[in-house]
Amino acid sequence: MNTVLITGASAGFGLETAKLFLSKGWRVVAGMRSPREDLLPASDRLEIVKLDVTDPDSIKAAVEQAGPIDVLVNNAGIGWMNAVEGTPMKTMRSLFETNLFGPVAMMQAVLPQMRERRAGVIVNVSSSVTLKPLPLLSAYTASKAALNALTEVSALELSAFDIRVRIVLPGRAPTTGFGDAARARIQQQGGFPEPYMPVVKAAFDGWAQESEAEVTQAADVAEAVWQAATDVASPLRIPAGADAVALSG
């Protein structure tokens, strides 16, 4: 039976991906910062592990608990929106800790076993913001663009060990809690700097005019991760959601 380890499986894309892999008969190791048994359907193929991707001890314990892993899905991530000037260095670093160094640490934790078995797939969940620059998203976009670059280079190295690597690029998904969490973080940290308010207004006006039909659903991302995990012919970069597909075309 194949096993997938998914980070950030308590909500949004990660939770939907865990549900999809469970429904397909896989063993699912669902990584959560605060483990909860009530989020996923009960199954003897489901294991919930405590996992914070910024904590090396937590990563070590979770990977040991998981046992042999066929597919790692680096899904956990955090958002942020502000001008470069309005982004405290602490916040900049925390975005890179979760969105880039977390996936790197997870890769380093599972690669020895995949290399030994000469098999495995790493799926890194990035973002369609890396396909088109958007105002106020510099820090977040930089963390995901660095993840794309790292993933692309690692694909060259890891093909020597028959390990596949894929990048899933979701579009904007207003239905997950991602935007609300980012907005709360911005408010906690003082909001937007006053001189940038015209830039903020223009950006929000632009987004308000975008078609609500062209958004990404959690199911789109789960399907893209499934394709990345199971289709050896899938491309290195897989857009997920109508808006991401339109951007990548």
Instruction: Give the DSSP letter of residue 202.
Output: H
> What's the min distance (Å) between Cβ of 26 and ligand NAP?
19
Q: Which of 21, 170, 200, 220 binds ligand NAP (CB under 6 A)?
A: 170
Q: Which of 19, 128, 138, 144 is catalytic?
A: 144
Number of other CB atoms surrounding residue 88 within 10 Å: 12
Taking CB under 6 A as the rule, does residue 13 contact ligand NAP?
A: yes
CA-CA distance, 4 to 228, in Å (whole number)? 12
Q: Which residues pair with 237 in a beta bridge?
A: 167
How far, in whole angstroms, is CA 212 from its chain's centroid?
Answer: 22
> What's the min distance (Å) between Cβ of 115 and ligand NAP?
24
Site string for ligand NAP, 192-221 (x = CB under 6 A): ------------------------------
211 is catalytic: no
Q: Which of 71, 77, 217, 220 binds ligand NAP (CB under 6 A)?
A: 77
Taking CB under 6 A as the rule, does residue 10 contact ligand NAP?
A: yes
CA-CA distance, 10 to 32, in Å (whole number)? 6
Instruction: Give the DSSP letter of residue 129.
Output: G
Taking CB under 6 A as the rule, does residue 181 contact ligand NAP?
A: yes
> What's the min distance (Å) between Cβ of 234 and ligand NAP?
18
Q: Which of 172, 229, 239, 243 binds ligand NAP (CB under 6 A)?
A: 172
Q: Phi and psi at residue 75, in whole multiples of 5°? A: -105, -30
H or E element in which residue 248 lies: helix 242-248
Scanning 7-15, 114-122, 131-139, 149-157 for contacts with ligand NAP by CB under 6 A, the matching segment is 7-15
Nearer to ligand NAP, 78 or 167 (CB): 78
143 is catalytic: no
127 is catalytic: no
The full 3-state SS of 160-194, as one line of letters, equals: HHCEEEEEEEECCCCCCCHHHHHHHHHHHCCCCCH
196 is catalytic: no
Instruction: Give the DSSP letter of residue 137.
Output: B
Taking CB under 6 A as the rule, does residue 12 contact ligand NAP?
A: yes
How big, in percent rounded to 5, are the helix, strand and coil portions of the chain?
50, 15, 35
Taking CB under 6 A as the rule, does residue 127 contact ligand NAP?
A: yes
Number of other CB atoms surrounding residue 153 within 10 Å: 11
Q: Which of 26, 80, 178, 226 binds ligand NAP (CB under 6 A)?
A: 178
Type of residue numbered 40: L
* Contact residues: ligand NAP, CB under 6 A: 7-8, 10-14, 33-34, 51-54, 75-79, 98, 102, 125, 127, 170, 172-173, 176-178, 181
